Structure 1
């Protein structure tokens, strides 16, 4: 709904209110009560109408956005099928699938991007680690700890590499390595409060 429509409705409500106010001055008490009731019902009805239309417009806009995004994704998938070595395009599809919760699809495309990129992009390496942990494939093609080491070789203080690295080390029974990685992560002044709390909880389990 446009601002012009809102202004028109607001003006209409003001006119109705002014008219009713004039009637109140000339009407007996019982009539005033009836008019107040009618006015209240009208105002509530207008409120619900505006709310309904706002929600409807929002849903329509959301559906349109999703439709456009799906079209872009479809075109991107077609492009990747024709250009499988374009790691950045493949990464976009992987990120989109991860965002949607399609972890198997994310794992598939992160793996393709990793092979195409020769493991030089830390975001692809971290994405492959995360999607592997979430999709839980029956057969692991890569050693997750090796992937963590590759990521840390690129950026030794990357937050996600240290976080996932700690989780993987702990799962492998190497609590000392997990502790080392998480303590290093705690040194990051940019670490969020929630992340800091999660790390401290993990450390309390291995102390």
Structure 2
């Protein structure tokens, strides 16, 4: 926001210099007294005009911007105040924990705060303290640490973060956060049945409608994959309707095609992953869909219902990078040799379908 104001002021000053300086430049002196009098009068008029322009243009610019802009200045002030209050509260909590480092609930609260502020490495440090104090027996400390590690580096779901969620489920088999992340971790390791079963357990807890839509879509997709691999999907879940974007929900229309040069490199059908990422932060994708190279070219709609994590969707960021990737190994993780294309989409500014051509190869 500060950068925006600085740029606006610089542009306004440049415009004023362009308009005012010619008015202040004095014409050459004439010879006669009459001509000198006229010249003095002319100079006065030009200086008055320059002063009027210098005063009126900034006022006019501010009035026009205030009347025509849709920028919510009040919301920005509220957000800034909330951020300042959060910083102050976190600083106070850190000071208390320095005096009393054995405060388990304090470390958990600090971990929650840092997660809410998207400071995931700091959140992991706080939850690690709580994990150590509880000797790994406090479920919120275990799942909080696993979540912070996963949001810092999604690859950790196949490592320590995944093991933490398994440990949490051994203590509390119905913990919602452990079921969700444990399901995602199982899917990343290739265990489709375990991942689906965990998501079904989470669905049975009657989550909010928006989360239920995400789960329904994920479970339906998993049942289709299990059936395609030769397994049997439960009839009640195999027929579950796909989740459509809710009214007013954010969605991106994406048109995906494959360049003719790379099409020649494909010898058969491979999985096609279309995903949206936050360009300013790491962590799991904000939205994911799985298709097949056989369906190219195709048009899809990425929406909030395609989120991997219900609390992290395309509705939580101002801008995303959408990637379309053909996975030669069938893995959701990017690997050398995969074919991909990407494009940026900014909510409120971008319009129309986002066109992506898969024309690059992962080194």
Q: TM-score, normalised by structure 1?
A: 0.62
Task: Determine if the alignment matches structure 1 residue 88 to structure 2 residue 105.
Answer: yes
Structure 1 stretches lacking a partner, 5+ long: 1-44
Which aligned pairs between 1:47-196 and structure 2 lie closer than 5 A?
A: 55-136=72-153, 143-190=160-207, 192-196=212-216
CA separation in 2, counterparts of 1:84 and 1:203? 47
Q: Please, which moves more after superposition, 72-81 or 171-180?
A: 171-180
Task: Determine if the alignment matches structure 1 residue 200 to structure 2 residue 217.
Answer: no
The structural deviation recorded for 1:178 is 2.2
Q: Deviations over 1:146-192 (max 9, x none)?
A: 42233223332222212211221222333332233233333333362
Q: Deviations over 1:47-104 (max 9, x none)?
A: x57x99x944443343233222211111111222232221211112211221222221
The structural deviation recorded for 1:206 is 4.2
Q: Please, which moves more after superposition, 170-179 or 88-97?
A: 170-179
CA separation in 2, counterparts of 1:132 and 1:110? 10
Give the length in aligned residue pairs. 161
CA separation in 2, counterparts of 1:155 and 1:143? 18
CA separation in 2, counterparts of 1:138 and 1:149? 16
CA separation in 2, counterparts of 1:204 and 1:137? 25
Structure 2 stretches lacking a partner, 5+ long: 1-62, 228-363
Please tell me the root mean square deviation across aligned C-alpha atoms, in Å. 3.4
**Bigger strand share:** 2
* 1:206–1:81 Cα change, 3 Å: farther
Alpha-carbon contact 2:114-2:122 (below 8 Å) kept? yes
CA separation in 2, counterparts of 1:74 and 1:101? 16
Q: Deviations over 1:25-63 (max 9, x none)?
A: xxxxxxxxxxxxxxxxxxxx7xx57x99x9444433432
Q: Please, which moves more after superposition, 90-99 or 168-177?
A: 168-177
